[in-house]
Amino acid sequence: MSHLIAPSLLAADFGNLERDCVMINESQADWFHIDVMDGRFVPNISFGMPVIKAINKVAKKTMDVHLMIVEPEKYIKDFKECGADVLTVHYEVCNHLHRTMQAIKDEDMMAGVALNPHTPISLLKDLINDIDLVCIMSVNPGFGGQKFIEHTYSKVKELKELITAAGSDCKIEIDGGVVQDNAPKLIEAGADVLVAGSFVFNSEDPIKTIEALKGV
């Protein structure tokens, strides 16, 4: 399977959200990446359910919802109703991650776990067969447009080894600071999904930028 591209709407023009969603529909992008921030787990607040519902009305592709919020288990059904196909929670806020993965799958969504840059891959060892996607944060979550953390490559390799050894089909997603230059090395290390926000939306021709990332 070739890798997937997930433009992050955090970098879209919120005054022209429909236009930017149509652009993603018409591009070679595979997923819509949707960042929910609560001002508690991360020092920023983005948007919530009404906005996601509005995106879902226009979006014709997989809705990949990344929850950067505390107590994400409280809102699993709500995000399903908003149209989420993939629901990712942060390792750092879940005391009962196994239960949360099951609850997400019970709602027929792919269950994802995101790891902050300081969180080691080894913590997923006993759970890897229960996870559909691991999102490796390659920046500290909370803001778009930050610099890629180089240590990410070795985390991707370590995760790929864990997944292969377990015989699991868990996908590896990279989120933060993804640009044309680091994309090939990430794919080579084992990444399946590349999230890109500012690199896509701040470019002169987002459709071409997505095409270039897809062509890596």
| Active centre residues (catalytic) | 35, 175
**Residue 83, binding choice from ligand DX5, Zn ion, none, Cβ under 5 to 8 Å by partner class:** none
Task: Spell out a b/e string for 179-196, using b for 16 or more CB atoms within 10 Å of the CB, else e.
Answer: beebbeebbebbbbbbbb
Span of 51-59, 82-90, 100-108, 189-197 interacting with ligand DX5 by CB under 6 A: 189-197
Q: Which is nearer to ligand DX5, 121 or 195 (by Cβ)?
A: 195
Distance CA 133, CA 137 (A): 13
Of residues 8-67, which lie at the interface with Zn ion (CB under 5 A)?
35, 66
**Which alpha helices (DSSP H) does 169-205 contain, by range?**
183-189, 198-201
Of residues 97-156, which lie at the interface with Zn ion (CB under 5 A)?
none
Distance CA 55, CA 49 (A): 10
Q: Which is nearer to ligand DX5, 109 or 178 (by Cβ)?
A: 178
Number of residues that bind ligand DX5 (CB under 6 A): 22
CB–CB of 112/128 below 8 Å? no
Q: How far is the CB of 117 from ligand DX5 (least distance, A)?
A: 11
Q: Tokens standing for 212?
A: 């270039």
What is the distance between the terminal CA atoms of the chain, rounded to a whole angstrom? 13
Q: Which is nearer to ligand DX5, 139 or 183 (by Cβ)?
A: 139
Q: Which residues bind Zn ion (CB under 5 A)?
A: 35, 66, 175
Which residues sit at the interface with ligand DX5, rule CB under 6 A?
8, 10-11, 33, 35, 66, 139, 141-146, 175-178, 195-199
